[in-house]
Structures are given as C-alpha cells and as structure tokens.
Amino acid sequence: MAHRWKNDLTRADATPYAAFMNRRQLMGGALGLGLIGAAGAARAAEELVPNSWEDITQYNNYYEFGTRKDDPARNAHTLTTSPWTVKIDGLVDNPGDYSMAQILDAMTIEERIYRFRCVEAWSMVIPWNGFELADLLTMAGVQDGAKYVAFETALRPDEMPGVSYPVLDWPYVEGLRLDEAMHPLTMMATGIYGKTIPNQNGAPMRLVVPWKYGFKSIKSIVRITLTEDEPPTSWNKANAREYGFYSNVNPEVDHPRWSQASERLVGGGLFARRQPTLMFNGYADEVASLYEGMDLSKFI
C-alpha cells in the first residue's frame, strides 16, 4: 500500500467543529519518503499524517485473538463477520436485532482522520470510515432516563482462540456516558483507508472515541444497551486502580506504572523521539466542556 495521505485538519483550526467535522478531508498524493520519516515534525506543524495500512493492521490489541501485538493479524481471520447482528436494547423506543446490512443502509459513511492513543503510551493516526454513533442511537430512539450506553463484543470461543485464557472477564464490555456517546466526534468505524475494516481492527463495526485511551474503543460490537446506571467496563473490572470508567487521555495523570506525559508514534522510525501527549488527545476544544467541574485526577 502506498497510502500516506496528508490532510488539512489542524488542531489550531479556528473553524467551529460542526463545520470542521463536515468538511471533507483533502487528500494529497503519497508523500515522499523523506516526509514520511518526518511524521513527528509534521505533528509539530499540527498536521495529521496517517500511519500506514501495515502499521494499523499488524500492530493491534484484540485480546480475544491473543495478547501479542501481532496475534490479532495472524488469528482474527477466523471471525465470521457476515452475517452479523447487533442487538440494540434497554432504554430505546425501537429495540431489536439489527443486521449490519440494515445499519449500513441507514447510515452515511464518511472518513475521519483521528489520533489514536493507547493507554500503553503508543499512538497512531488512523483514517477511519464510519458514521456518528449519535445517528445510530437516534435511529434506535433514546428514551428519557437513559444516561449511559453499554457495548459488548462478540464472544465466540470457536472463533476466538484468546478467550480460552482468563486475561479478561469475557465478553469484552465497555461504556460511555450518553453525552459522550452522542458527541459528534464519537464514531462507529466500519472501514480504514476506504477499505472494509479488517477483522483484527474490529470488523464489522467498532467504536472509536478519539479523546479516550484506545481500550474504550471496543471492537466487533454485538450489543448496545441504553442504561440508567454506569455500566461495568472490562479493564476497570480487571484493575480499577489503573483503569477508570472515563479513561480520557490526560498527560497530567500518570498510569500507576508509567508516565502518560509522552508517547511513541508507531512507525515513527528508528530515530523517532517520543512526542508529548496532548490533553484529551488533542481534542480538548471539542470535549473539555463535557467534564467541566470534574476533578480529572479523580475521575480517571
């Protein structure tokens, strides 16, 4: 793949984000090798240069297929992603089992180039294709009284070699506050670089919440439930001291075992320096208001 695209999204962009989000990404041609090596410099100039297809699809966390970074790429081909049904239930007007075809029919797919920051202190820039989660929730009809959205990944022991190990309490579950779920930055991804999303990245549909640590972006979703109470989340259940419900990217709040002040850009090259981690992963202008009045060192 020669996909190295440059976009016009800049953190310093003064355009209000509603307009900013609707603007189509300007796609340039493949950048020269020299520029690719300067991904860090490009970031300093506040341009997002997406990682390569190889970076994005061969360095993964998807523990249902193993815990090594190259396990998902080797093992996830066993996941049957078609047909696929997503149950939407709880506090919604139109609960039911929605087929992927039905969902895709109702949604408009667009491209969003987002920073992606894993809690392990590595990062990438990924050109996702997908739709706003808000559109799906609106289709389901969110009822008064709903305050949270719970998500669940498929649990298929026959297709997922990793779930025979008790690394996590399967199935993988995640959650968002309703206002986080309805935020225009929050998306359901069904593609990367204009191609169908590979299994190792969460086919056929996975969450993407760019201002939160990567583990909030739950893969291969089979159930979405609107609830009144804060739902349990896998990493919080595994270690509540290290992984909170919010898990907003925050360079000022370290993980108990490592600093979150900086990160390694995957694919940055042999001499790449760590780059500073940005508050809310660079999306503070868009999302900081969601957490007004909250002590972010407490609500981790």
Q: Rule CB under 5 A: which residues touch Mo ion?
A: 61, 118, 214-215
CA nearest to 276, candidates 266, 265, 261: 261
Please, what is the minimum distance in Å from the beta carbon of residue 212 to Mo ion? 10
Please, what is the minimum distance in Å from the beta carbon of residue 119 to Mo ion? 5
63 binds ligand MTE (CB under 6 A): yes
Classify burial at 228, counting beta carbons within 10 Å of its beta carbon; exposed 0-12, middle 13-18, buried 19 or more: exposed
Identify what 236 binds: ligand MTE, Mo ion, none; CB under 5 to 8 Å per kind. none
51 binds ligand MTE (CB under 6 A): no
Asked whether 151 and 88 are in contact (CB, 8 A), the reply is no
CA–CA distance, 176 with 149 (Å, rounded to integer): 5
Q: Which residue, 49 or 142, is less far from ligand MTE as judged by CB?
A: 49
Backbone φ and ψ of 235, nearest 5°: -70, -30
**Quick one: tokens of 228?**
């009144």
Please, what is the minimum distance in Å from the beta carbon of residue 116 to ligand MTE? 6
Taking the mean position of all CA atoms in its chain, how far away is CA 201? Answer: 10
Q: Which residue, 214 or 267, is less far from Mo ion as judged by CB?
A: 214
**How many CB atoms are located within 10 Å of the residue 169 CB?**
11
Distance of CA 270 to CAs 187, 235, 266, Å? 33, 31, 10
- Provide the mask over 219-248, with x wherever binding to ligand MTE is found by CB under 6 A and - wherever it is not: x-----------------------------
Please, what is the minimum distance in Å from the beta carbon of residue 267 to ligand MTE? 12
Q: Which residue, 148 or 215, is less far from Mo ion as judged by CB?
A: 215
**Quick one: tokens of 134?**
């808000």
Binding site for ligand MTE (CB under 6 A): 60-64, 118, 153, 172, 201-202, 214-215, 217-219
